[in-house]
Amino acid sequence: MKSAGFYLQGKHTFPYRVNRRNISQCMIDEKVLTVYETLHARYGDLHWWPAKTPYEVIVGAVLTQNTAWSNVEKAIANFGDRLEPEFVADVGLAELIEIIRPSGFYNQKAVYLKAVTAWFAQYGYSVQTVQSEPLAKLRTELLSVKGVGQETADSILLYAFGFPTFVVDAYTARLCERYPLDAGNGYIALKAFFESNLPPDTAVYNNYHALIVINGKEHCHKKPHCEGCPLRYTERINCKVHLPS
């Protein structure tokens, strides 16, 4: 993804540094901070999510499932100035399918967009009203929405609404396995691992996930391109994998 113009209602403090005093020392795994600080030194503050409004984040989080971000950008562009929840709620399914066709799986995703928009309608399409609700309640609600899995739910809650909930994806799991980070297996275990080793800071969660993704795209592919990866030789530990590019 490219850098964002939209940025969580401007609530956060730059740069996205981890305040170690806010971490429970008995739980800290220094490698979590080493990875963050190393990636941050290379890539800086990435200002995710690349969207103009919170609702565009919601739409992007659904459309990005199983497709490249470049396809999402084409679908988003097709909305023109109609990328509003009221439009998606009212538009016919056939027209919505045509708009989002570049994102692939358009028949399913059109239904998913209607469903997540109906969830947002319960809050009057108000970001502030959503933000006044408990994170756990909202996460449970979103996970009950058709087409919204854990990564999509956490992406929406973190990047659209600014809740401190860590997003896990395939790049995160790969990094943990290769570095290695002793994060366990499965979405919930990985999420809990990062959250227990970082302060509950939305800005840091925002940038940490973005950094993992950008380094995954640059270097940590299925076949890793370790040459030039900032994590190859870090101060405290060397990444476990050192395959030639």
Work out whether 226 is an interface residue with ligand SF4 (CB under 6 A).
yes
239 binds ligand SF4 (CB under 6 A): yes
The token pair at 102 is 């570049």
Helices (H), the chain: 30-43, 54-63, 69-79, 85-90, 93-100, 106-121, 127-131, 135-143, 150-155, 170-178, 187-196, 202-218
Q: Is 21 or 240 the residue whose CB approaches ligand SF4 more closely?
A: 240
Give the span between the Cα atoms of 36 and 43, in whole angstroms.
10
Torsion of CA 160, 166, 172, 177, to 10 degrees: -170
Say how many C-beta atoms besides its own lie within 10 A of residue 238's C-beta. 12
Nearest to 193 by CA among 35, 40, 20, 27: 27
Instruction: Tell how many helices (H) and how many strands (E) occur in the chain.
Output: 12, 0
Which one of 82-90, 117-125, 191-199, 223-231 is the stretch in contact with ligand SF4 (CB under 6 A)? 223-231
Site for ligand SF4 in 103-142 (CB under 6 A): none
Q: Are 105 and 43 in contact (CB under 8 A)?
A: no
Residue 8 binds ligand SF4, judged by CB under 6 A: no
Does 241 participate in binding ligand SF4 (rule CB under 6 A)?
yes
CB of 117 to ligand SF4, least distance (A): 37
Which of 37, 187, 232, 237 contacts ligand SF4 by CB under 6 A? Answer: 232
Binding mask 175-194 for ligand SF4 (x = CB under 6 A): x--x----------------
Cα–Cα distance measured from residue 234 to residue 180, given in angstroms and rounded to the nearest whole number: 12
Determine, following the binding rule CB under 6 A, whether residue 224 of this chain makes contact with ligand SF4.
yes
Minimum CB separation from ligand SF4 for residue 87, in Å? Answer: 41
Residue 231 CB, nearest distance to ligand SF4 (Å)? 4
214 contributes a contact to ligand SF4 by CB under 6 A: no
Can residue 212 be called a binding residue for ligand SF4 (CB under 6 A)? no
Q: Retrieve residue 4's tokens.
A: 């964002």
Interaction residues for ligand SF4, span 143-182 (CB under 6 A): 175, 178
Cβ at position 169, least distance to ligand SF4 in Å: 15
Which residues of this chain interact with ligand SF4, rule CB under 6 A?
Answer: 175, 178, 219-220, 224-226, 229, 231-232, 239, 241
